[in-house]
Each structure stands twice: as structure tokens, then as C-alpha cells.
Structure 1
Amino acid sequence: MYVCICAAVPDTEIRSCIARGARTVEDVGDACGAGTGCGSCHDHIDVFLAAANAPSEIAEMPVSA
């Protein structure tokens, strides 16, 4: 599933960036370009970041609506 349409970045790449140390939307953008276009994906990237930083509560939530 694409998270960032502008840069054609799928969720797997977002997760990979976070696993490699990205901690903010800006970090993710620097790593793979996601979120550097229109910005409409920032909320989605924030969800991935929150899930990585608080896995006990958020990881079990559905990824898509």
C-alpha cells in the first residue's frame, strides 16, 4: 500500500526507514522522500512512527481504515 503518493513510497519503505532510525516525519522524508511533496501523508507517517515507539498499545490497531 502506498503511504506517500507524491513520492510513490509504500508502507514497507516507511517501516524500513523507521527501523533504521527515523523518528520524525522529517527523518522519514530525508530517508526516502515520503512526506516531502504535498504533505497529505504526514498523518499516516505519524501513525507508523507512533506504532514503532509504543508497540504495546498501537501495534494491534488496524493499519488501514
Structure 2
Amino acid sequence: MYVCICYAVPDAVIRSCVANGARTVEEVGDACDAGTGCGSCHDHIDVFLAAAHAPSEIAGLARSA
């Protein structure tokens, strides 16, 4: 699925940028041009960033035997 229509950047490329260290929409744009056109994809890019960098809600739960 395309996240950025202006530059035809698919979600796999956004995920790769995030996996390679991008932490902001601007850093994703620097890496692959996504978000540097009209800006309508910024919210979508933010979702990928939040999912990758936000702590998991279950990370702090006790492990069961």
C-alpha cells in the first residue's frame, strides 16, 4: 500500500526507514522522500513511527510460568 502518493512510497519502504533509525517524519523524508510533497501522509508516517518507537503495553507485564 502506498503511504506517500506524491512520491509513490509504499509502507514497506517507510517501515525500512523506521527500522534503520528514522525517528521523525522529517527523517523519513530525508531517507526516502515520503512526506516531502503535499504533506497529507504525515499522519500515516506518524503511525508507523509511534508503533515502532512507543513501548509496548505488554512489555511491563509479569511473565507467567
Please indicate the TM-score interval, normalised by the length of the shorter structure.
0.7 to 0.9
For residue 56 of structure 1, report the CA deviation from its aligned partner. Answer: 1.6
Report matched runs for 1:1-65 at 5 Å. 1-54=1-54, 56-57=56-57
In structure 2, give the amino acid aligned to 1:39: G
Cα distance in structure 1, aligned partners of 2:11 and 2:56: 20
Which protein has the larger Cα radius of gyration, Structure 1 or Structure 2?
Answer: 2
Which ranges in structure 2 are unaligned for 5 or more consecutive residues? 58-65
SS in 2 for 1:56: coil
Identity %: 86
Q: Can you list the C-alpha shifts for 1:14-33, whole angstroms capped at 9, x where unaligned? A: 00000001000000000000
Q: What stretches of structure 1 move > 3 A for 4+ residues in a row?
A: none
Cα distance in structure 2, aligned partners of 1:55 and 1:14: 19
CA RMSD, Structure 1 to Structure 2 (Å) = 0.9
Which ranges in structure 1 are unaligned for 5 or more consecutive residues? 58-65
